[in-house]
Structure 1
Amino acid sequence: MLVALLILVGVLHRQIGALVADPRLQTWLTVFVSVMVQAVPFLVFGVVLSAVIAVFVPRSFWARALPRHPALAVPVAGVAGVVLPGCECGSVPIAGSLIRRGVTPAAALAFLLAAPAINPIVLTATAVAFPRNPEMVVARGGAGLVVALLMGWLWLRLGRTEWIRLPHRAHLDGLPRMTAFWTACRHDIIHAGGFLVVGAMAAATINVAVPQQLLHDLAARPMLSVLALAALAVLLSICSEADAFVAASLSQFSLTARLAFLVVGPMVDLKLVSMQAGMFGRRFAARFAPATFALAVLVAATVGTVIW
């Protein structure tokens, strides 16, 4: 397929050159390439480290490390998300395995939400994407951790065991370590990389196809812009290691609206909801995802209002 594509480009190079000469297409390609070039190194690095931790760190370690009291286990599990430099694709199966090992679901869910939102790779990528707004790193990390802890405690208060359908086995169980490592790398890079490409294309399309006046009118309405970018984060389903670069490209919107995009994305998106439904059951996803979305928007708007 690659050879056929190269031959086609060689044969039609004049027509393709004329097409690329269009100013709107050049703008689209510039935005798309810039997002991809900045995001791919963080994506690859995060996927490799996530696979190392998932394969070579015993899952029983988390059960031994957490306090026995559920209310205390939630903040410890949330802060433990800092040591998992991976995206939400890896946090779902790990959270399922934690529950199977006897970890209280509230702590496992706090870990599930915190891991892709506050890990060092995500925060470093955010700092690179927002060099003129270093406070965005603190805002994103703080808001993400607050949402994870509140959702853990909320589940501890209102959640029911029968809403969770525990998985029978994790997707890496039973494989040799190196085989499991490469399987995890391939899985995460294909899924996360694919969604990154879609997200970069969508960001470029928004910058080119959507009338700038419409974006400015939407951005001029604070609450509406926050809800719009939060909903966009759900639809785009971008890996948390790359979403900061997409958010930075949406410069028409306020920092608070873009913070909502960054807080909601790692916790509630289409691929994550589908993975949660497959891992824990539809009854769980139908309750957990809407509550997380509402709380993430509220916390992001509050934090953004205080900082900016």
Structure 2
Amino acid sequence: MTAPEHVAPAGEEQTGSSQAVADRPHPPADGRGGGLRSLIPTRIGSVEIFTALLVLLLALNGPLTELLSRPALATWTTVFVSVMVQAVPFLVFGVLLSAVIAVFVPRSFWARALPRHPALAVPVASAAGVVLPGCECGAVPIAGSLIRRGVTPAAALAFLLAAPAINPIVLAATAVAFPNNPEMVVGRAVASLIVAMVMGWLWLRLGRADWIRLPHRPDLDRLPRGEAFWSAVRHDVVHAGGFLVIGAAAAASINVLVPERWLQTLADQPVLSVLALAALAVLLSICSEADAFVAASLSQFSLTSRLAFLVVGPMVDLKLISMQAGIFGRRFAARFAPATFAVAVAVAVVTGMVLL
């Protein structure tokens, strides 16, 4: 008979199998293989980007030093930094006060405070812009909310134009930007107030209700007050601050890239200089709390031309046109923006001739 084969006990077989499995090389738990590959990060975060920038700056230290020492770039940096340093405190202070008023002051207050007669409500609403320290970004949704809560559109639109132009923060910033020309503060306040009232009365005369699409309820009304306050602050700082940087860079670039004789030739033409700076205000879309410092840097132009820049900017610019189209509708923006631009330029010129 053949001797029976030896059969290992079940426990011994399992132990041997486990030992064999343990002796085999196992791939890493993340399945990416071993060696150097395991040290390479799969995601590039802020730390990696910052490190790469530091390495790049160290590698390009010599060329960058030579580039920054050039007179043109030194002038650009000087103008840019000076505009930012002067404008940022007013921007931050204005954003904080605007958030306080938008969150803690009931919106229904404006409807109760305005006269019932539309023609009388327009100048009162225009003057009410003095108590709203904020930029035009916040005035657009507030004006839409006023219309929704029963305020006549003419008064709400007058408030929309006056609030970012004649509030104390903007006027104080203008005084700091033009320390030797206090008449610029008076001229800006008077011209902006006149434009706001004229546009309000024009809407009473020519405006149609179907041009305005009633806005949706602002998101801030559905948030707790503390959260709504910081949400408004973050939104205004990001948007207004971003446009301020663009405007400061554009002003510095104009001072460096455009030949002085070109600017002087344009500045010597009264009509062209006014139209050029008015169009520049539309394109730059600078926050009203900071545009005075950009205007002050354009010293080649007359005070009247720069007044047109300050009057047009808070009322008609690219970001305002897009916001008005989104809140009130494209039919409204297509009519209201060009009319406001024409009235603002005309009033600024007349005011400049009288006061400056």
TM-score bracket relative to the smaller structure: over 0.9
The one-letter amino acid paired with 2:241 is G
Is the CA contact (8 Å cut-off) linking 1:110 and 1:148 kept in structure 2? yes
Judge conservation of contact 1:50–1:84 (CA < 8 Å) in 2.
Answer: yes
- Which of 198, 206, 212 matches 2:254? 206
The match for 1:3 is: 50
| Structure 2 residue 353 is the aligned partner of structure 1 residue 301 | no
Q: What TM-score does the superposition give when structure 2 sets the normalisation length? A: 0.85
> Which residue is equivalent to 1:221?
269
Give the distance between the partners of 1:242 and 1:186, measured in 2 at CA: 17
Alignment equivalent of 2:187, drawn from 114, 131, 139 = 139
Unaligned runs of 5+ in 1: none
Say whether the 8 Å CA contact 1:116–1:266 is kept in structure 2. yes
Structure 2 counterpart of 1:164: 212
Query: Which amino acid is 1:247 matched to?
Result: A
Q: Partners of 2:58 and 2:154 in 1: how far apart?
A: 57
Displacement of 1:7 in angstroms is 4.2
2:222 alignment partner, SS class:
coil
Instruction: Give the match for residue 83 of structure 2.
Output: 35
CA distance in 2, matches of 1:12, 1:85: 44
CA offsets, 1:168-190, max 9 Å, x none? 21131211111111110011000
Kept in 2: contact 1:42–1:121 (CA 8 A): yes
Q: Deviations over 1:135-173 (max 9, x none)?
A: 000000000000000000110111000000011211312
**What CA distance in whole angstroms lies between the structure 1 residues aligned with 2:304 and 2:244?**
22
Alignment of 1:166-245 (within 5 A): 166-245=214-293
Aligned to 2:154: 106
In the alignment, structure 1 residue 286 sits paired with structure 2 residue 334 = yes
Q: What is the rounded CA distance, in whole Å, between the counterparts of 2:286 and 2:55 in structure 1?
A: 32
SS in 1 for 2:151: coil
Task: Indicate the residue corresponding to 1:153 in structure 2.
Answer: 201
Tell me the distance in 2 between the aligned counterparts of 1:138 and 1:42. 19
Higher relative contact order (CA 8 A, sep 6+): 1
Corresponding residue SS for 2:220: coil
Q: Note the C-alpha offset of 1:307.
A: 1.8
| Matched residue, 2:31 | none
Q: Contact between 1:89 and 1:188, CA under 8 Å: does it hold in 2?
A: yes
Q: Distance in 1 between matches of 2:237 and 2:110?
A: 25
Aligned in 2, Cα 1:213/1:101: closer, same or farther, shift over 3 Å? same
Q: Which runs of 5+ in 2 are unaligned?
A: 1-45
1:85–1:121 CA contact under 8 A, matched in 2: yes
Partner amino acid for 1:3? F
Which amino acid is the alignment partner of residue 243 of structure 1?
D
Give me the whole-angstrom Cα distance separating, in 1, the residues matched to 2:175 and 2:335. 33
Q: Percent identity?
A: 78
Q: Please state whether the residue corresponding to 2:213 is helix, strand or coil.
A: coil
Deviations 1:252-294 (A, max 9, x none): 0000000000000000000000000000000000000000000
Shift of 1:13: 2.4
Equivalent residue in structure 1 for 2:295, among 223, 234, 247: 247
Which of 25, 44, 59 aligns to 2:73? It is 25
Matched residue type, 1:187: H
- Given the two structures, how large is their TM-score scaled by the length of structure 1? 0.98
